Amino acid sequence: MSKKFRIAAFFFVLAAVSFAQTNNYSVALTADNTGVVITSYNGTAAQVGIPANLEGLPVKAIGKGAFSNHTTIRTLIIPRGVTEIGDEAFQGCRNMATLTLPDTLQKIGIRAFDSCGITTVSIPAGCTDIGEGAFLNCIELKTMVLPRDLANIPANMFASCEALNPVTLPAAIKSIGERAFADCKALTTFNVPASVELIQFAPNVFQGCSKLNLGAQVALKKLGYGGSF
């Protein structure tokens, strides 16, 4: 085999390892070469259980837009070992009613679940890096559990979640971004732990939350909120 041919063959193998397709999943190596990122999905199943391993390596992340607009998905299970969900990863999965997140998750990207059909979500305790609009426009979302160590709720995180009620903040909360709960039309109860004395509120956090009970409105104003409801 000539030297030139051997070099060409080497780069062909390298490319095959760094980017590959397994069944319905396309994957790429993580930056540290210890696992894979799912870069796209072309399946049509209603119930999707993402494999914990692909190409003989652990699945560590879901890439940007990897599952976006897959309207056939109704149930999604993300396996233990995944630490990051990329921006817009599941955006537009409007029929996805059931979502299971792993306890290894650390980061949820910008608009990762925008316009999904989920009805409940429990964000794992270790996931405190959450992008803006992570659950924007999830109009079927009724209940959610926030991580106990979450200090910041980003802008638009639950905006236009029209069925959401009630909301309970963690004791670690320090700030809430712009329009984080705007247009949550069913929201009547908003619970803040007694240990929380001050919250940095961005403008219009609760704009369009006209059903929020008066007791909650008074409590939020005492904590520093100066916007409308």
pLDDT tens digits, one per residue of 79-97: 999 999 999 999 999 999 9
**Among candidate residues 133, 138, 207, 195, the one with its CA nearest the CA of residue 169:** 195
Strands 129-130 and 152-153, by their bridges, are unpaired
CA gap 202, 227 in Å, rounded: 9
Tell me whether the omega of the peptide bond preceding residue 203 falls within 30 degrees of 0, making it cis: no
Q: Taking the chain (229 residues) in consecutive chunks of 10 residues, what is each chunk's mean pLDDT?
A: 40 40 89 97 97 97 98 98 98 98 98 98 98 98 98 98 98 98 98 96 96 97 96
**Among candidate residues 47, 49, 56, the one with its CA nearest the CA of residue 22:** 56
Neighbours of 23 (CB within 10 A): 10
CA gap 50, 86 in Å, rounded: 15
Q: Return mean pLDDT, the chain.
A: 92
Q: How confident is the model over 121-151, as pLDDT tens digits?
A: 999 999 999 999 999 999 999 999 999 999 9
The percent of residues in the chain predicted with pLDDT above 90, rounded, is: 90
Contact 179, 153 (CB under 8 A): no
| Residues with Cβ within 8 Å of residue 211, at least 6 apart in sequence | 185, 186, 187, 188
pLDDT at 141: 98
Q: How confident is the model over 169-178, as pLDDT tens digits?
A: 999 999 999 9
pLDDT at 11: 33
pLDDT at 21: 65
| Residues with Cβ within 8 Å of residue 205, at least 6 apart in sequence | 176, 177, 178, 179, 180, 181, 182, 225, 227
Q: Which two tokens stand for residue 21?
A: 């397709």
